[in-house]
Structure 1
Amino acid sequence: MWWIALSLLVLIVVIRIWYRLQSGHCTSQKTLDGKTVIITGASAGIGKSTAFDMARRKARVILACRNLEKAQKVADEIIRDTGNNSVIVRKLDTSDLSSVRSFASEIIKTEDSLHILINNAGMAGHHKRESTTDGLELTMATNHYGHFLLTNLLLNLLKKSAPSRVINVSSKMHEYCRKLDPEDLNFEKSSYSIFESYNRSKLCNILFTLELAERLHGTGVTTNSLHPGAVDTEIAYKMGGFAGYAQAFLFKLMAKDCELGAQTTIHLAVSDSVEGISGKYFVDCKETESSKLAQHRGIAKKLWLASELDVKLENEEVK
């Protein structure tokens, strides 16, 4: 039976090498002197790797994270390794709308400009439906609603700083979401599953990007979404259960590392080749078609209106 184990090992190594070799790389050497970047969920995984890259490019980098102690250790590491002292930590829990509002208020008061907003924070979901204090399903709140609200609250600062960019980290898993009812985003009518909640939230990331691009047309602010690929991060471990640990194990063996997984995010943040491009979906640093549902402008508009109501977005908050 040893030959079976050897064959499996060879297959894993071949897949790992092939997947990493064909993955996209950001080739831009652009520096970001005088630019301010916000990255949500930057204390680990893709967000952390993105933060390192932005700091190396001499940007002012704001790590927007839930765990301040963990984030500060990352900030200290970035400062030590890059020599960029303009790396700061701010408290942000995207699942908590009051936290989003507090964070945005502090940014508006303390920052004169914002050139790149990277909505990266996310979670895989819970095995049982869980509601936040705002009455929203937890995965949807973390992955969609928090970033929807945050982006809206910072739009004026982004416009003031134009040309500027908003990057939304989605996932290929959005393709497995076959329908979307804007009146039932939080599984109050439909049955809940950990996979459906994640897939739905990732679909919403792309639809949000689609509608945001239309609303921002002519402002100098562009927005695009992306699939980072299969990446070895903490997200699967945090999901727990057999499926989570099995996925984490496979990703550890064959998936991209975090630095490689961050390449498309970085590409969308800095590359001159995407200047002026907005409302598109990227994989491996290349524009790619999302699912048909993710391209539905009518649903995108309905999602926007439903999201405004669910986060209780007031007119004065976006003036």
Structure 2
Amino acid sequence: MTHLITGNKFDPNTDIPDLSGKIYVVTGGSSGIGFGIVAHILQHNPAKLYLLGKKEEHIQWAQDELKKYGDTSKIVPVQIELEDLHNVDEVAKRLAKELHQLDGLICNAGLGVGVYNETPKDGIDSHMQVNFISQFHLTMVLLPLLQQTANSRLVLQSSDLHRAISDVQFASLAEINRDIGPTMLYNRTKLAQVLFVRAMARRLEKGELGFDANSHTGPWINAVHPGGVSTDQPKQAEDAYGKLASAAVAVLRPLMKDPVDEGCRPALFAATSEDIVKDKVQGQYIVPDRKVTEPSKQAKDEQLQENLWRLTEEILSDKLRSLPYRTQYVDPMAKEGLHGQPAGRQ
């Protein structure tokens, strides 16, 4: 990957190839980095671009602003509430039924550093549910589409803050539902995203979970770090930490990258660049703009990856009752007493 390491610039205005005929899904696409991702994909002529967002007014604003970048008739707006697993399930199943191909799924949506809350309908730490669990479910439902689309991409928007947390086991929901402080709540989700990318890439290499290890064409699965970006997430930190955070943000904001011009570059590189295929960039961690680098030691811990996968399946199975994809650890039949055994690895 010498080319990637020595050539670290990626200009989305000129370096994204023509995307004619391609279909993308972007979560959190109505503001910040997500809007930048959507804008630059639209700029390069995709067939369809599904913009998933939380608030109808934000989605409408984004559609109006996107007229500057391309043909907004290609935008398919989808309202999704990541704090409600049943809503996520409905949206995911709708997309799986509606789409015939999927060239890129970019899981960008996320809560920033903020106070501890549990989701009102599911009773899960909101950071973990929004930033990871809901998007894990969306990914798994759409995975067959990614697998059948040549050289498709799966991109998770992580952060270098995944390095700044320890003592995480992903052993139980009780562990997840502990208030470990605004910064650590965020950092834990960023670690989870890199763990998931690496666990998924291992399954691809082994030909598990519907992957064909001998004739791999997609997806190319990577996590990215956007760098320090000026979005609404610092406002969440201000709400969590008060005047001290406000002062820090005031000092740092002029140094932060613009989300539309720069913050979206690593995700766009991972989602669109032909170099991902040429250099076989799989299961990696990419920092601005296009540099593959080593994630934390924790992120490479295979047991921690499997703990996370198991716990996520257990939570989703408990909240949704049945999962429309092949599970790794939870036996959905056992829940109904059909297998006569407690849930365990299949």
TM category, shorter: 0.7 to 0.9
Is the counterpart of residue 70 in structure 1 residue 74 in structure 2? Answer: no
Q: TM-score, normalised by structure 2?
A: 0.80
Query: Is the Cα contact below 8 Å between 2:159 and 2:190 reproduced in 1?
Result: yes
Query: Is the Cα contact below 8 Å between 2:40 and 2:69 reproduced in 1?
Result: no
Work out the CA distance in 2 between the residues paired with 1:45 and 1:23: 22
Query: What's 1:161 paired with?
Result: 149
| Aligned residue type for 2:97 | K
Query: Residue 50 of structure 1: SS of its match in structure 2?
Result: helix
Query: Is the Cα contact below 8 Å between 1:137 and 1:187 reproduced in 2?
Result: no
**Offset at 1:36?**
0.6
Query: Is the Cα contact below 8 Å between 1:132 and 1:141 reproduced in 2?
Result: no
- 1:317 aligned to which of 324, 327, 333: 324
Structure 1 pair 53–189 and aligned structure 2 pair: CA distance change class (3 A): closer
Please identify, of 212-221 and 272-281, the stretch whose mean Cα deviation from structure 2 is larger: 212-221
Work out the CA distance in 1 between the residues paired with 2:129 and 2:246: 24
Structure 1 pair 243–36 and aligned structure 2 pair: CA distance change class (3 A): farther
Is the counterpart of residue 279 in structure 1 residue 283 in structure 2? Answer: yes
Query: Is the Cα contact below 8 Å between 2:53 and 2:59 reproduced in 1?
Result: yes
Structure 1 pair 247–160 and aligned structure 2 pair: CA distance change class (3 A): farther
**Offset at 1:236?**
1.3
Write out per-residue CA displacement over residues 107-163 of structure 1, whole angstroms, 9 at most, x where no aligned residue.
Answer: 122221111000000112432443442121011111111111110011111112232
| Aligned residue type for 2:308 | L
Work out the CA distance in 2 between the residues paired with 1:130 and 1:246: 28
**Offset at 1:80?**
4.7
Work out the CA distance in 1 between the residues paired with 2:295 and 2:121: 32
Query: Residue 85 of structure 1: SS of its match in structure 2?
Result: helix
Identity of aligned residues (%): 28
Alignment map for 1:87-106 (pairs within 5 Å): 87-106=75-94
Query: Is the Cα contact below 8 Å between 1:131 and 1:137 reproduced in 2?
Result: yes
Query: Is the Cα contact below 8 Å between 1:184 and 1:190 reproduced in 2?
Result: no
- 2:306 aligned to which of 268, 276, 301: 301
Structure 1 pair 206–73 and aligned structure 2 pair: CA distance change class (3 A): same
Structure 1 pair 72–131 and aligned structure 2 pair: CA distance change class (3 A): closer
Structure 1 pair 196–186 and aligned structure 2 pair: CA distance change class (3 A): farther
Query: Is the Cα contact below 8 Å between 2:157 and 2:226 reproduced in 1?
Result: yes
**Offset at 1:244?**
4.4
**Offset at 1:75?**
1.7
| Aligned residue type for 1:221 | P
Query: What's 1:13 paired with?
Result: none
Query: Is the Cα contact below 8 Å between 1:78 and 1:87 reproduced in 2?
Result: no
Work out the CA distance in 2 between the residues paired with 1:81 and 1:98: 33
Please identify, of 183-192 and 56-65, the stretch whose mean Cα deviation from structure 2 is larger: 183-192
Query: What's 1:31 paired with?
Result: 18
- Give the CA RMSD over aligned residues: 2.2
Query: Residue 286 of structure 2: SS of its match in structure 1?
Result: strand
Structure 1 pair 266–277 and aligned structure 2 pair: CA distance change class (3 A): same
Alignment map for 1:1-319 (pairs within 5 Å): 24-26=9-11, 28-59=15-46, 60-184=48-172, 187=175, 190-217=178-205, 218=213, 219=216, 220-239=218-237, 240=239, 241-258=242-259, 259-275=261-277, 276-284=280-288, 285-312=290-317, 317-318=324-325
Structure 1 pair 187–247 and aligned structure 2 pair: CA distance change class (3 A): farther
| Aligned residue type for 2:324 | E
Query: Is the Cα contact below 8 Å between 1:264 and 1:283 reproduced in 2?
Result: yes
**Offset at 1:224?**
0.3
Work out the CA distance in 1 between the residues paired with 2:102 and 2:245: 36
List runs of 5+ in structure 1 lacking aligned partners: 1-21
List runs of 5+ in structure 2 lacking aligned partners: 1-6, 206-212, 327-346
Work out the CA distance in 2 between the residues paired with 1:127 and 1:104: 28
Q: TM-score, normalised by structure 1?
A: 0.87
